[in-house]
Amino acid sequence: MICPDCKGTGKVSVKEDCPACDGTGEINITDDYGQKRKIKCFTCRGTGKIKDEDTCPMCGGAGEV
């Protein structure tokens, strides 16, 4: 039987806080004039979350239960 959690792929997607911006979606930079500015995070593209794949806990990565 195909695993209902991973739909047979053996992997599940997990969204975690972005380590570059700590989940805020913005990073602080200092521009050429010495002024501090907030810009959109390059790592998560401003969402504050990154997508990571992990082994499905229900089927252990087999894709079937």
The domain tally of the chain equals 1
Q: What is the mean pLDDT of residues 22-27?
A: 96
SS (H, E, C) the chain: CECCCCCCCCEEEEEEECCCCCCCCEEEEECCCCCEEEEECCCCCCCCEEEEEEECCCCCCCCEC
- How many residues are listed for the chain in this entry? 65
Average pLDDT, the chain: 93
Q: Which residue has the higher pLDDT, 53 or 41?
A: 41
- Which residue range is the domain that position 24 belongs to? 1-65
Using an 8 Å Cβ cutoff, are 36 and 29 in contact?
yes
Is the pLDDT assigned to residue 24 strictly greater than 90? Answer: yes
Q: What is the mean pLDDT of residues 37-50?
A: 95
Is the pLDDT assigned to residue 46 strictly greater than 90? Answer: yes
- What is the tens place of the pLDDT at every residue in 25-34? 999 999 999 9
What is the CATH number for 28? Answer: 2.10.230
pLDDT score at 2: 94
